[in-house]
Amino acid sequence: MNNDLQTTWWRLRPKFSANTFDEIAALSKKHGMEMFQKGDQAHLEAMKK
């Protein structure tokens, strides 16, 4: 992972809490879909990498 991507990820990382991997995966997917629907440019760029 390059430095720009690490910096972007660290700044944008969501703070999820769950009891299982499946719960975390669902929360992450939901968050990604919400950011995509909002057209959040920083998230869209991070998702491309």
18/47: higher pLDDT: 18
Residue 44, pLDDT score = 83
- Using 50, 70 and 90 to split pLDDT, how confident is the model at 47? confident
Residue 24, pLDDT score = 86
Residue 11, pLDDT score = 63
Render pLDDT for 1-38 as a digit per residue (tens, 0 to 9).
455 655 555 566 667 788 999 998 898 888 888 888 99
Residue 27, pLDDT score = 87
Q: How many CA atoms lie within 13 A of 17 on its CB side?
A: 0
3-state secondary structure the chain: CCHHHHHHHHHHCCCCCCCCHHHHHHHHHHHHHHHHHHCCHHHHHHHHC
